[in-house]
Each structure stands twice: as structure tokens, then as C-alpha cells.
Structure 1
Amino acid sequence: MGYFDRKIEAAGDGALLDAYSQTVSRAVELVGPSVAQITVGANGSGRQGGGQGSGFVISPDGLIVTNNHVVSDAKTVRVYMPDGFSSEARVLGRDPDTDIALIRTDTSLGTAAPLGNSKNLKRGQIAIAIGNPLGFEWTVTAGVVSALGRSMRAQNGRLIDDVIQTDASLNPGNSGGPLVSTTGEVIGVNTAVIRGAQGIAFAVASNTANFVISEILRFGHVRRAYIGVAGDTIALPRHIAVRAHSNAESAVRIRRVEAGGPAQSAGLQEGDIILAVEGQPVLGIDDLVRLLNGERIGKPTEILVLPIGNMLETRVITPASRP
């Protein structure tokens, strides 16, 4: 390779790097102003010196999403915005099952981050983690989406569904902040409560976060039906979709069946594929969570499954209230 060839190649690499940098910077400029520091005092007063994490504004009237473990059992917290504004906020509701909490400030906030559709995510696309551990500036890490639709066990033993895995490292204090796409949409809520997260990071998908937010705003807590399974979102082979008379490209594969639960009583086993609930397609873990809402508790529910090596079957399961 000659001198001029090397110069051209170097210029091309520089242009690609510059384009990548501009893409990340543009997304951060869009979402960064909405990312807050959340501080919880040791006595619940919200004074600096207690526990802290990040959160992000989703509505100009002061609604902020953060992690459940960030607010813990506090009734009020303190919010610090990048522009120097601070305000007391009250905790509207918490959901330990997804490590998501919703709080509201006493005053309106002008900047909000839009929640995107996590169902549109693809492995390999750029993911940007933003946090605000200091209160007056944000920190940024970038990587790619490594895996989608995971069910992961938190440090307290709870199973968190619809988890995004990324190699965008999670800095201390960034837990509760947004995971952002290159278009400036929030695709997940970063969490640091997953076991074995060294070198990788996890976020609860935005669609699940949206479901939790809606439940908290309506009922003050999340109502869930429980069938006793853990699963992963998988690509659905075309021949299975054809047999199910479906155009779906994905479904949920059962990874674990809890002993004594409704699913085990109905004969579901590890490896079975869940295709639909009451005729509604199950394209991923977020769909399963959404369809098994509080209204299903105690009601016989038809679930279309494909057992390992067998024909399609409709199983009737009566969900219980989530323990």
C-alpha cells in the first residue's frame, strides 16, 4: 500500500469515527437535559449524603422514571437537574419486579425524553447509557445491544423480565438513567441490580417500563397475573409460524417453570414455546407481561404453546396473583 493509499484509508476511518461521534453526541444533546440525579437522604429527607442514582423526565409536568432500588422505601426524594434546578419529589409508586419507580416533582420541568418502542430493537445497534451522578452534568457510555428479551435474576432474588443486555458500561450513580437509541429515544431503563453484571450492563426495556408507568399512574402499583414461568424472546422459525397461522417472527421460549405454579399445573415445561395468550400474539417477554395483567387473575386463560417435539396445543391456565 502506497503513501497516498494509506492517507485515503486513514481519512476514511476518521470520517466514520467522526460520524459515529456526531451520532452519539446528537442523541446525548437531545436526552441529556432530561436526565436527573435522584438523592435519598438516610432519613428519607432527600438531603445529599444518602443514597443516590439517576432518573429521567418523561413528562414536562414533573414525572420522572428511576430505579426502585434508588428510591428504596423513601416517600420523598430530591431531584437535581443539569441546569442547576432542584426540587423535592414524591414517590408515586415502585415495582420491585422490574426495578422501576415513578416519582413526581412539586414543580413542572420543561424537558422530557420520549419513550421509544423497544420491540423495534435489533442486536448490534448502538445503545447509549446516560446518567447524572453529580447533579449538574451527565455522563455517557456507548456500546451496542448484545441481547434482547432476557429474564434475569436481581440481587434480591426477584426475576426481572424483558431485559436488554448491552456492553455500554454502567458508571456508579448512573443506575436509573436512560438507555438511548441514536434517534434520541429511550429504549430502556438502566439497572445495576442484575447479578453477574461485571463488564456488561442491563436495562429494562422501554415497553415494559411504559406498562409499569401506566399501572402506577392508574392504580398506584402494578397488578400482575402470575403463571410461574421465566422465558426468553426468541426468533420464531417460519415453519412454526405457518403451523400457527401467524406472521409472527418471534415468540417466548420457557426457560424455567416454577414448582407448584399455574403453568406446571397446566403441563407447561421448560423449552415449550408460547405463541399467544387469548388469541393475542406473544412476540416477546414484554407482550407476555402486558397480556398477563391484573384482569387475568383467577380467570381461565387460553395459552397457545408448542411443546418440544409435539403439535401445537392450547392450554388453559388460571393465573394467580403475583406473589
Structure 2
Amino acid sequence: MGYIDRNIAPIIDDGALTDAYSQAIASAVDQVGPAVSRIEQLGARAGHGSGFAVSPDGLIVTNNHVVGDAHGVRITTPDGFVTEGRVLGRDVDTDIALIRANSSVGAWAKLGDSKRLRRGHIAIAIGNPLGFEWTVTAGIISALGRTMRAQSGRLMDDVIQTDAALNPGNSGGPLISSSGEVIGVNTAVIHGAQSIAFAIASNTANFVISEILRYGHVRRAFIGIAGDTIELPRRIALQAGTRQLTSVRVRRVEPGGPADRGGLKEGDFVLAINGKPVGGVDDIVRLMDGDKIGHDTELQIYSLAGKVETRTVVPAARA
């Protein structure tokens, strides 16, 4: 009988791994790339940006700072088709704008579930940086649930950090997964820093799109917290009687704001809002809609005292 040395590591074919990685990226780009457009303002000298269609009838997502104050834009698809479109609505708090093309732009992309993302997942960016049209870059998800300041000065929640290279002109383009789903809307880079770029998570973008289509703007309740999406420690989940794997830990409470008046503290975990589970910052964005403005809203939290408690806040309208 032969002897097997179990201390010998299995031989890994680096070439096969590299080829699989390349094929995954190429396949994802083939799926989403045709839906990505170059976006230019009409009647303005501003620069250009990127956008991507999310429906077969020419509904296009981009950044608010790409369209600026313009009412109309020029849309150019990868196959050279040019059409115009109008801005349906915009949200400065998430830097998202929604465009309706005057005609179908052909291909469209699917918005994925950003809550399923994990650090280390492949992230692929497609856009038109610095005039180099339909450029593809790839990297990984570096962090989730970040908060950063928009050009308006307000804080944007539920931001994805990635090391996929972004440059001016990438703004508004899609950040996609290896399965070919849009997981974010590329929005910003930190100038002078390497491998640090940001995208608005797809779940937040989906919420903004729905609000604009229904109301022409985003109705948003404000409670005055900044938080991070984190893994929920098992002991807290057991004590709270929940199967949630993630939650939101409060990082900052605005003095005098609704959350402060309701007794929330930095370090609290937000587990549920009016009985609906909170597994990430995107859930707070979605659940704090306009219907809650001026009404008692119950937040189930795990407090710094080590207890599962309920706090009542009265959200205000976001000015």
C-alpha cells in the first residue's frame, strides 16, 4: 500500500486561477458594458460623466454632480448611438440623478443586492475617465457602510469603499460584481490618495430611483446619526432573539437632533425600526422615509449598558 504524505500542500495551478479571474471579469463586463453611456450636459461647458441604463425604456442612473443644474443631457452609447434625455429628478444627499432618454438605448443592467457584499469581493468599474471612453478597472470591496461628505456638504450614508481605480469621468458609472450585477454607483475619489474610491450602494440607489419615479424627489426623515454596517456579535443576536448577521453601530449622534433627544448614544447598535430588522445602513435610509416625519418611531437598540432596549424618536424632515 502506498504512503500519502499529508504534509505536502496540493499543487495549485496559478495559470488556471488567473484565467478564471480574467474570465469572471470579462463575462461581467460583457453583461453590463453595453448599458453604460457617456453623459454630457446640454447647453453647458461642464465636463462629462458616465451613466447606465436600468430599464429597457431608457431609464438611466448617474450622479447628481454629473448633470448639475441641467434639465437636458446628451447620451452616447458604446455602439455610437447618440440621443438626448431629460433629468427626471436628483438627490443631493446621495449624489444620485435619474434620466429618461428620449428613445431606448438598447441594453440595460440589473441592480443587485448590496447587502450581500463582503469585504474582499471583486469590484469592477466601467466608465469614461479623462476622455478614455468605456474603460474597465477592477479591484476588491475594501469596506462597506462608510459615511462620507457629498459636494453639497451633507453626509452620504451606505457608501462602498473600493480600490478599483476611478478618475474624473467615472462618476455615475456602475460598480459591478463578478456575477454581472450593479452593486454601486461610482461617485468619488480622494485626490492624492491611492486605491481609495467610493460608490453609493445599489440598495440606496434603488430606493432613490423609486422615490424619484413616485414623487419626483426623495422624501426623507432625519434622525441625526451616522453609523457603520458591521457584523452583529452572536451574543447580542442571541440576547435580542434575532437571526440577523449584521447591524448598524452608531458612530456619531448629532447634538440636539431627534436621535439625541430620543436617548441614542454613540456605540449603540440599531437592531430594528418599528419592528422591521436593520441589517445595514441601507435599511435605515430605506425605512426612514417621508411617512415617519413628525411621528413617534421606535428603534430597538442594544445599548452601551448591555441591554436590548427601545428608544422613541420623532424624525424631522430633511431640510
- TM-score normalised per structure 1: 0.92
Q: Contact (CA 8 Å) 2:273, 2:297: kept in 1 or not?
A: yes
Amino acid at match of 1:39: E
Query: Compared with structure 1, are the counterparts of its residues 121 and 307 closer, same or farther at alpha carbon in structure 2 (3 Å cutoff)?
Result: same
1:40-59 matches, cutoff 5 A: 40-41=41-42, 43-44=43-44, 50-59=46-55
Q: Give the aligned length.
A: 310
d(CA) in 2 for partners of 1:137 and 1:264?
Answer: 47
Which residue of structure 2 lines up, in the alignment, with residue 180 of structure 1? 176
Aligned-pair CA distance for 1:193: 6.4
Which residue of structure 2 lines up, in the alignment, with residue 5 of structure 1? none
- Which consecutive residues of structure 2, in runs of 5 or more, have no partner in the other structure? 1-10
1:83-122 matches, cutoff 5 A: 83-122=79-118
d(CA) in 2 for partners of 1:168 and 1:136?
Answer: 16
Match of 1:252 among 237, 248, 253: 248
- Which consecutive residues of structure 1, in runs of 5 or more, have no partner in the other structure? 1-8
Is 1:152 aligned to residue 148 of structure 2?
Answer: yes
Aligned-pair CA distance for 1:305: 1.1
d(CA) in 1 for partners of 2:193 and 2:148?
Answer: 10
d(CA) in 1 for partners of 2:211 and 2:85?
Answer: 19
Aligned-pair CA distance for 1:197: 5.8
d(CA) in 2 for partners of 1:276 and 1:246?
Answer: 10
Instruction: Give per-residue Cα distances to partners, 1:228-274, cap 9 Å, x unaligned.
Output: 00100011011111111111111101111112110011111111111
Is 1:268 aligned to residue 264 of structure 2?
Answer: yes
SS in 2 for 1:123: coil
Amino acid at match of 1:228: G
Aligned-pair CA distance for 1:194: 6.4
Q: Contact (CA 8 Å) 2:220, 2:288: kept in 1 or not?
A: yes
- RMSD over aligned Cα atoms: 1.9
Is 1:223 aligned to residue 212 of structure 2?
Answer: no
Q: Contact (CA 8 Å) 2:131, 2:169: kept in 1 or not?
A: no
Which residue of structure 1 lines up, in the alignment, with residue 15 of structure 2? 14
d(CA) in 1 for partners of 2:108 and 2:72?
Answer: 21
1:1-323 matches, cutoff 5 A: 12-41=13-42, 43-44=43-44, 50-133=46-129, 137-192=133-188, 198-323=194-319
- TM-score normalised per structure 2: 0.93
Q: Contact (CA 8 Å) 2:189, 2:197: kept in 1 or not?
A: no
d(CA) in 1 for partners of 2:316 and 2:193?
Answer: 31
d(CA) in 2 for partners of 1:196 and 1:218?
Answer: 40
